[in-house]
Amino acid sequence: MLDKRGYIILKDTCKADYNLVLSLFKKKAEWEKRNEKEYFLNVRLGLHYQKRTYKQNAAVWELVTVIFQSQSEEGRKPTEEEKYGLYLDLLEVYADKVPNKITGGLRPVHISESNSVEGARFIDGLLYHLATECDLEYGTQVTVQSVLQEWEEWRGSLEVDPLDYKDIDCTDLMPEAEWRQKHPYSEASGKGGNIDRAHIVSRGADTPDIKKAWNWIALLHEEHMEQHQMGWDAFLQIYPHLRGRVERARRLANKMGFEDKPRRVLPVKELATEALE
């Protein structure tokens, strides 16, 4: 929250995180005293539930527009009224539901009130609808691929991908049968067809990890074979929006991710690294 002085006040929910923050600021003070100069901490906060982002909001309306165009005989764009009407219909099918305090039943969560996890699950539903129910023209295919690439890049930036889990609290990993049903298109190219459940960490590298949803990625069969032939480094040159997901799986499997490969020898330890020791 923001206090009257304009400072952001954070409430810790994990003792380990709290101790890390204290250690970072203590080390910052020691460095400043030792070097007689000011240092700034560059910290990334992993907030599991965030308000849905502007990009998520924009993605929803782009996808609703494309779905309408695919259903229209002349392929025209919807009016605002038509777009909102279709959006309401899609909410009923794909959005998360919350209790209706008036009727006692359930109502869908609108994108305007959703957090980032609820927004993610709705967008995933729209992409599923496009892959299974819509016949797209070339122009609309380009739009969907553009949204998909930004979407996959955003998912890869998260420490926990909500779409790897059955529940909104991200505690129960999705089983294989449900995962296959929800991935009718390639996460690389956005194309439908013969979809493989590819492994990021290979079977030979870490057998226990092949059964975890965070280690799976949906690829066309030919893309899967291409990845095996060229390796992840080269494959990600073609599909860079998948890099975050691949690196996260490597970290979770205690593998060396691309960003962790040695690049140069540092003369001194970085501030965050020293604080963790």
User: What mean pLDDT comes out for the span 97-123?
Assistant: 91
Identify which of 44-58, 156-170, 260-274 has the greatest average pLDDT.
156-170
Q: Is 251 helix (H, G, I), strand (E, B) or coil?
A: helix
Q: How far apart are CA 223 and CA 242, in angstroms?
A: 13
pLDDT in tens, 136-178: 888 888 888 888 988 898 889 888 899 999 888 888 999 999 9
Tokens at 214, concatenated = 């965070």
Residue type, 216: W
- Res 229: pLDDT: 94
Asked which of 3-7, 42-46, 79-83, 104-108 is least confident by mean pLDDT, the reply is 3-7
Identify which of 22-36, 150-164, 213-227 has the greatest average pLDDT.
213-227
Higher pLDDT, 44 or 184: 184
Percent of the chain with pLDDT over 70: 77
Domain ranges of the chain: 1-45, 50-172, 182-263
Higher pLDDT, 256 or 108: 108
Helix axis angle for 138-156 and 243-252, nearest 10°, is 30
pTM listed for this prediction: 0.68
* pLDDT exceeds 70 at position 49: no
List C-alpha distances in Å: 172 to 63, 163, 164.
Answer: 28, 11, 9
Biggest distance spanned by C-alpha atoms of the chain: 72
Q: How far apart are CA 8 and CA 2, in angstroms?
A: 5
Q: Provide the pLDDT confidence category of residue 8 given band limits of 50, 70 and 90.
A: low
pLDDT in tens, 232-254: 999 999 999 999 999 999 888 87
User: What mean pLDDT comes out for the span 75-96?
Assistant: 95
Q: Are 69 and 140 in contact (CB under 8 A)?
A: yes
Closest CA to 72 of 86, 56, 84, 91: 86
End-to-end CA distance of the chain: 30
